[in-house]
Amino acid sequence: MPQSSVLSLAEFSAINIAAVEAELDQIISSNKSKIDVLTQLDDVSWANFSDPIQQMDMCLEDFFSPVSHLNAVKNSDELRDVYQACIAKLTAYGTELGQNSALQQQYKKLQDAAEFENYSAAQKQWIKKTLLDFHLSGVDLPPAEQERFKTIKNRLAELAQTYSNHVLDATAAWKRPATEAELKGLPDSALAMLKQQAQASEIDCEYLLSLDFPVYQAVITYADDRGIREEIYKAYMTKASESGPNAGEFDNSELMVEIVNLRQEMAAILSFDNYGERSLATKMANSVDEVTGFLEKLAHQAKPFAEQELQTLQSWSAENVGLEKVESWDFAYVSEKYRQAFYALNDEALREYFPLQKVLSGLFEIVGRLFNIQIEECDNFDRYHDDVAFYQIKRDGQIIAGFYLDLFARDKKRGGAWMADCRSRYIKADGEEELPIAFLTCNFRPASEGKPALLGHGEVTTLFHEFGHGLHHMLTTENIAGVSGIAGVEWDAVELPSQFLENWCWQAESIQLIAEHYETKEALPQAMLDAMLAAKNFNEGLMMLRQVEFSLFDMHLHCADRLADAGQIQAVLDVVRSEFAVISPPDYVRFQHAFSHIFAGGYAAGYFSYKWAEVLSADAFSAFEEHGLFDQKTGTAFLENILQVGSSRPAAESFKAFRGREPSTDALLRHAGLI
């Protein structure tokens, strides 16, 4: 049993950026010396080998995770340079360990030892996964190919960071002063945001547009001026490319080509047919054909619905908005007008019923009832920005986890939403228990002009999604860092808890807990609730096709022959669109140049994971449809079979343990209104 539990918060104010690289060098050097000793052990055991390895890994994670987080949420030129240098060193260190045959042999000794049979399932799984990682790191390659493999890994890490920097810089580079007349149609809350942005800038103007997503979303959805919608659409859809208003300034074209080619070369060195097959070596899906078949089946099921949805919008727009043809920059605008007319649903009016604090308190109550936890805010912690909050999670009076919450868009902060590890749960060699801590990050509109932060329902869903990831990380009960939380979970299963939790954003019983008017405290009116639920699957066919399009593009790209130029990347995307898309974007669109998920994130040849896991999450939620939204027995079963076990067993086994059978696509299609 653990001796004590430790909630070890990050000390952001103690981070000296100028000293980070030297401190990292010291940790890596110390780890290498310890590894040299460990590889000399004649008899290895969990206590004398695995525990020290885990301690070294966690020492490195605990040091670098706050630095990595700062690079994403409080970027600066100094930090960027240091971070890039550190990533190069970490990549080299990781590859060196992965190709250390003496270290590999020690793991094999563990696997072959008599005591292996007495190990827990988690211990066995950790050893099995680690030995696979050795193989995928090139340990079995001849020396010359090992060196080439190292070179590729180092270069890919450098390219990914440069790609991310280009997206961040391209987003920050485009600013556009605007007048109130140009922004006619935008709701007051959006105008207040743009005015606040202008006041915070050095540009003398009444309103300032940018490519931060809350700004882009507001303009593309509500601006009556078609010209300004097209202008911001073009700027947003050409970020970091050779096209658009900042053409060539932060161009990712050559980087993408090099990234894909190097991945293909690395896969070939490891004897895979392509990088798609290499990616699937650590996922639930077994083959590229299985993935593409799954995606194409979804596309064929969704396409008739999508075609009908687009035709309906086109016809309605011609008659009611005066647009004979709905272009890409009109789609969100016309869709919102249609929603307001057909469903009597206004997203901005709805926003007034989702003040952030009410949403948070409701979210905490929902997960508390499902998983028997309590969440409390803490004031005394080391903040890196005034926006940031910290919460601790308790069960039966005992602290079991914590999380940082950073929810608002701002300069020098990466776009999008994500969960990242701050600390991982594990039992140290001395018996002390380190508790898990998560970073939960979004980019919502901040409070403005006396109003609190108000969330659109889509943002509410995003918050629930990321919190689902956080629960997966924080509610684990595994004692080995390598298999606790999301560590080692197959990438096409890691979205299961996040997509699963989104379902509580769409149930009348749970919506009552997260919605009340920010001024009057009135509950969401029944008419608005009915309209929201009726509109749940509005344009679902089009949205499904969009995700399938991205997923097929990703997989086909990573199974393609060697690329000569970025035009071939566009050609792969064009082929996918020609077969499955019903909306053709303008020729200048360069979506792929800012597709960070696959070029700078963990989703290369894995973007299909969102749809794959959605099958799992929809089927898992159907258990609550059968037994009750807050059924304690079902909630406990999900907690024990999915959230707590980490990767101590294959995800397919965890799902089957919860559901009692193999997953079915029926619930996904039913929830999406496609059957």
Catalytic residue annotation: 466
Name the strand (E) or helix (H) holding 442. strand 437-444
- Tokens encoding 196: 């606040």
* Cα–Cα distance for residue pair 438/424, rounded to 1 Å: 8
Q: Which residues contact 568 (CB under 8 A, 6 or more apart)?
A: 257, 560
Furthest C-alpha separation in the chain:
81
Q: Where are the alpha helices (DSSP H) in 330-450?
A: 331-342, 347-351, 356-371
* Cα–Cα distance for residue pair 672/675, rounded to 1 Å: 8
Q: Three-state SS across 271-289?
A: CCCCHHHHHHCCCCCCCHH
In this structure, which amino acid lies at residue 260? V
Which of 500, 429, 423, 475 is closest to 646 using CA atoms? 475
521 conformational bin, left if phi > 0, alpha if psi -120 to 50, beta if neither: left
* Cα–Cα distance for residue pair 490/496, rounded to 1 Å: 10
Counting DSSP H helices and E strands in the chain, the numbers are 26, 10
**DSSP state for residue 644 in the 8-state scheme:** S
Q: Where are the alpha helices (DSSP H) in 343-383?
A: 347-351, 356-371
Per DSSP, what are the bridge partners of residue 74?
none
* Cα–Cα distance for residue pair 639/635, rounded to 1 Å: 6
Name the strand (E) or helix (H) holding 226. helix 226-237
**DSSP state for residue 504 in the 8-state scheme:** G
For residues 674 and 307, the answer to whether their CB atoms sit within 8 Å is: no
- Tokens encoding 451: 């109003």
C-beta pairs of 377-381 under 8 Å, 24+ apart in sequence: 378/402, 381/9
For residues 419 and 470, the answer to whether their CB atoms sit within 8 Å is: yes
In DSSP notation, 578-626 reads: HHH-SS---TT--GGGG-HHHHTSS-TTTTTHHHHHHHHHHHHHHHHHH
Q: Which residues contact 120 (CB under 8 A, 6 or more apart)?
A: 648
Per DSSP, what are the bridge partners of residue 561?
none
Neighbour-count burial of 77, counting CB atoms closer than 10 A to its CB (0-12 exposed, 13-18 middle, 19+ buried): exposed
In this structure, which amino acid lies at residue 10? A
* Cα–Cα distance for residue pair 409/213, rounded to 1 Å: 8
- Tokens encoding 587: 């020729």
Residues 376, 382, 387: CA angle, nearest 5 degrees: 70
How much of the chain is in helix, strand and coil states, percent to nearest 5?
A: 60, 10, 35
Terminal-to-terminal C-alpha distance of the chain: 50
